[in-house]
Amino acid sequence: MADVLGKVKQVIAEKLQIDAEQVTMEAAIVEDLGADSLEQADILFSLEEEFGIRADDSDEADGLKTVADIVAYLEKKIG
């Protein structure tokens, strides 16, 4: 999980131009980190590319509200 979290933090910090220290497991992507809907999509696309996966269920991807949600989703997808 640490490797997944590290990559998620790196991608989110880069896309939102914030300090990686702000990206905690509890942080909400919109409310806490200030992402808009386009940035959220960009983050997801970048993570798909980083991990070599596809978000095949848009409803599931839409439910990713926190960093913890994203990490759990990625861990499930990559097995």
Domain that includes residue 15, residue range: 2-78
Upper half-sphere CA count for residue 10 (Cβ side, 13 Å):
9
3 included as an active-site residue:
no
The pLDDT, as a whole number, for residue 61 is: 73
Instruction: Report the domain count for the chain.
Output: 1
Domain with 52 in it: what CATH number?
Answer: 1.10.1200.10
pTM reported for the whole predicted model? 0.89
Assess contact for 39 and 16: CB atoms under 8 A: yes
| The residue type at 52 | G
Query: What is the full per-residue pLDDT of the chain (79 aa) written as tens digits?
Result: 669 999 999 999 999 999 999 999 999 999 999 999 899 999 999 999 999 988 766 667 778 999 999 999 999 888 8
Q: Which of 3, 19, 32, 36 is catalytic?
A: 36
